[in-house]
């Protein structure tokens, strides 16, 4: 069994797509171990996305991720990290494969509805960011 982190982003919570996303996770045999609704501070968003600090979209990304509530979800499954990446699809919804969450509900490369950890080390750090000590 492996654990990973998914975040439902502000564009999806705003459009009331929370239930639909969770249903897709459960349909794909992910077990939900923990979840909560939070409002990220600008400092929190900068810390979470620190790896993108030098990218031209960093400022917009921080603004977007602090524009409304987000829902981090701790998930467990076999091969959870790669299975979730597959279910979520490519970063840009226009390029994401048919049937992926981003293809079906993402709006554009920034408002792409969900975030998924991309590797074991990232998953460990991202899970700790939201759920350490819980």
CB of 61 vs ligand CMP, minimal distance in Å:
5
Encoded one letter per residue, x for contact with ligand CMP by CB under 6 A and - for no contact, window 9-48 reads ----------------------------------------
Footprint of ligand CMP on 64-103 (CB under 6 A)? 91
DSSP assignment of 73-133 equals EEEEETTHHHHHHHHH--SSTTTSPTTSHHHHH--SSS--SEEE--SHHHHHHHHHHHHTT
Instruction: Tell me whether strands 71-77 and 114-116 are parallel, antiparallel or unpaired.
Output: unpaired
CB of 109 vs ligand CMP, minimal distance in Å:
4
The piece of 28-36, 70-78, 79-87, 110-118 that touches ligand CMP (CB under 6 A) is 110-118
The answer to whether 103 is a known catalytic residue is no
- Measure CA 79 to chain center: 17
**In the bound complex, which residue of the shown chain has the CB atom lying closest to ligand CMP?**
115
Residue 89: exposure state from Cβ atoms within 10 A (0-12, 13-18, ≥19): buried
Among 15, 29, 36, 52, contact with ligand CMP (rule: CB under 6 A): 52
Kindly report the backbone phi and psi dihedral angles of residue 118, in degrees, each rounded to the nearest multiple of 5, phi listed first.
-105, -5
Query: Among 16, 52, 103, 115, which one carries the catalytic annotation?
Result: 115
* Footprint on this chain of ligand CMP (rule: CB under 6 A): 52, 57, 61, 91, 109-110, 112, 115
């Amino acid at each position: 069994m492996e654990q990973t982190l998914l975040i439902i982003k502000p564009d999806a919570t705003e459009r009331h797509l929370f239930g639909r996303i969770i249903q897709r996770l459960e349909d794909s045999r992910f077990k939900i171990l923990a979840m909560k609704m939070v409002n990220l501070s600008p400092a929190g968003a900068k810390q979470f996305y620190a790896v993108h600090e030098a990218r031209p979209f960093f400022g917009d990304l921080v603004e977007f991720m602090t524009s409304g509530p987000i829902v981090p979800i701790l998930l467990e499954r076999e091969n959870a990290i790669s299975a979730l990446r597959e279910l979520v699809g490519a970063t840009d919804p226009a390029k994401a494969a048919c049937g992926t969450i981003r293809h079906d509900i993402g709006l554009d490369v920034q408002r792409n509805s969900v975030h998924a950890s991309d590797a074991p080390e990232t998953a460990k750090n991202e899970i700790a960011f939201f759920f350490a000590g819980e």
